[in-house]
C-alpha cells in the first residue's frame, strides 16, 4: 500500500528513507509532469515540513542553501553580486508559480542537462551536502550530477543543503539563457559567468555552460585563457578552440549541435562583456 510521509524533523525523514521505499518530494514541479497522472506513484516522503532544511544562510565558511529553499527564496535573498547569476537563473525558471514551489536542490537532483541551476552553481564552486542515517558527506557539484538524470545519491540519502565557499563570493556574475521564446521555455543553451577584475585585467574567471553536454560543464581552458587579459579585448578571446572541446551538444527538436555550440560561444561573449561592465 502506498503511503505519504510528511515528517517535521530530518531525523524522522532519514528513518523513513532507511525503512521504506519512497520517492523524496520537494516542490514536485519535476515529479508531477513526469507522472502524467493526477497522483504520484508509490510512497512519498515530502520533505517540505522540515524547518531545518529551509532558507538561505550566510555561515562562517560561506553560504548554505537549504534543500527546500525555493527559487523564490533565492531570488529574494540578500546575496553578493557573485550570486547575481543564480538569481537571474531563478527568475527564468518557469513562471512565478514554478519559482515559488520548485527548489534549487530538486533542480540538481532531477539532473536534467537543461537544468538552469547547474551552471551558476558550478561557477560558484558549489558542493552538495548529502545526509543519511549513517552521516553526512559533501561532494563538489561536478561529482554529484554524473549523467543525464543520474546523481551520486545512494539509497537512504537525501540532499540536505547546497554550500558555496566564501572564496566564490567575489566578483560580478551573469546568467544568460537561450530558448525558443523568452519565458517558460527549456534552455537550448545557457551560460553562467563570474569574474573579478584587477588593474583593468581579468583576475579570476569561472564559466559554465549547460544544455550543450549530458552534464553542464566548467570551461577550464577558456577560464585559463582569460586570466590576465585586459578587459577591453576579452570578448575576442572567447573562441571555439577553447570552448568546443568541453561541449558535446546533441541535435534535437530545439536546435542542432552546431547551433547550440555557436549559441554557447555567443552567450559567453555577451555574459563576459556584461560582467566586465558590472565590475568596471
Ligand X SMILES: Cc1cc2nc3c(=O)[nH]c(=O)nc-3n(C[C@H](O)[C@H](O)[C@H](O)COP(=O)(O)OP(=O)(O)OC[C@H]3O[C@@H](n4cnc5c(N)ncnc54)[C@H](O)[C@@H]3O)c2cc1C
Sites of contact with ligand X (CB under 6 A): 23-31, 33, 47, 67, 92-94, 98, 101-103, 105-107, 109-110, 115-116, 153, 158-159, 184
Report CA-CA distances (Å) from 149 to 106, 109, 137, 180, 204. 12, 8, 21, 23, 31
Report CA-CA distances (Å) from 243 to 137, 188, 212, 227, 256. 32, 16, 11, 15, 17
Angstrom distance (rounded) from CA 247 to CA 209: 8
Please identify, using beta-carbon distances, which residue of 176 and 234 lies nearer to ligand X.
176
Please identify, using beta-carbon distances, which residue of 120 and 171 lies nearer to ligand X.
120
Please identify, using beta-carbon distances, which residue of 58 and 100 lies nearer to ligand X.
100
Please identify, using beta-carbon distances, which residue of 153 and 219 lies nearer to ligand X.
153
Nearest approach, Cβ of 234 to ligand X (angstroms)?
A: 28
DSSP 77: S
Please identify, using beta-carbon distances, which residue of 102 and 171 lies nearer to ligand X.
102
Q: List CB contacts of 198: < 8 A, sequence separation 6 or more.
A: none
Nearest approach, Cβ of 203 to ligand X (angstroms)?
A: 30
Angstrom distance (rounded) from CA 220 to CA 39: 43
Nearest approach, Cβ of 223 to ligand X (angstroms)?
A: 23
**Which residue intervals of the chain are DSSP H helices?**
10-19, 31-35, 71-76, 84-91, 96-101, 104-110, 118-123, 141-144, 220-226, 240-243, 257-279
Nearest approach, Cβ of 193 to ligand X (angstroms)?
A: 18
Nearest approach, Cβ of 158 to ligand X (angstroms)?
A: 4
Please identify, using beta-carbon distances, which residue of 153 and 205 lies nearer to ligand X.
153
Count CB-CB contacts under 10 A for residue 93.
Answer: 24
| Alpha carbon of residue 127 to chain centroid | 11
Angstrom distance (rounded) from CA 256 to CA 218: 21
Nearest approach, Cβ of 23 to ligand X (angstroms)?
A: 5
Amino acid at each position: 500500500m502506498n503511503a505519504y510521509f510528511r515528517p517535521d524533523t530530518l531525523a524522522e525523514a532519514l528513518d523513513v528513507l532507511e525503512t521504506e521505499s519512497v520517492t523524496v518530494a520537494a516542490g514536485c514541479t519535476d515529479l508531477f509532469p513526469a507522472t502524467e497522472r493526477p497522483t504520484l506513484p508509490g510512497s512519498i516522503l515530502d520533505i517540505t515540513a522540515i524547518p531545518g532544511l529551509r532558507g538561505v544562510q550566510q555561515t562562517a565558511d560561506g553560504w548554505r542553501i537549504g534543500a527546500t529553499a525555493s527559487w523564490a527564496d533565492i531570488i529574494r535573498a540578500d546575496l553578493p553580486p557573485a550570486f547575481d547569476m543564480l538569481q537571474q537563473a531563478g527568475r527564468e525558471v518557469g513562471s512565478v508559480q514554478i519559482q515559488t514551489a520548485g527548489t534549487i536542490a530538486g533542480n540538481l537532483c532531477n539532473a536534467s542537462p537543461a537544468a538552469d541551476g547547474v551552471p551558476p552553481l558550478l561557477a560558484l564552486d558549489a558542493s552538495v551536502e548529502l545526509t543519511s542515517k549513517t552521516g553526512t558527506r559533501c561532494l563538489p557539484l561536478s561529482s554529484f550530477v554524473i549523467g543525464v538524470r543520474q546523481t551520486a545519491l545512494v539509497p537512504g540519502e537525501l540532499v540536505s543543503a547546497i554550500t558555496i565557499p566564501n572564496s566564490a563570493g567575489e566578483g560580478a556574475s551573469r546568467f544568460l539563457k537561450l530558448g525558443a521564446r523568452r519565458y517558460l521555455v527549456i534552455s537550448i543553451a545557457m551560460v553562467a559567468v563570474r569574474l573579478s577584475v584587477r588593474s583593468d585585467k581579468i583576475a579570476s574567471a569561472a564559466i559554465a555552460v549547460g544544455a550543450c553536454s549530458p552534464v553542464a560543464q566548467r570551461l577550464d581552458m577558456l577560464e585559463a585563457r582569460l586570466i590576465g587579459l585586459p578587459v577591453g579585448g576579452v570578448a575576442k578571446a572567447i573562441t571555439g578552440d577553447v570552448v568546443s572541446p568541453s561541449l558535446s551538444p546533441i541535435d534535437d527538436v530545439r536546435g542542432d549541435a552546431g547551433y547550440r555550440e555557436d549559441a554557447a560561444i555567443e552567450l559567453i561573449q555577451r555574459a563576459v562583456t556584461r560582467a566586465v561592465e558590472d565590475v568596471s
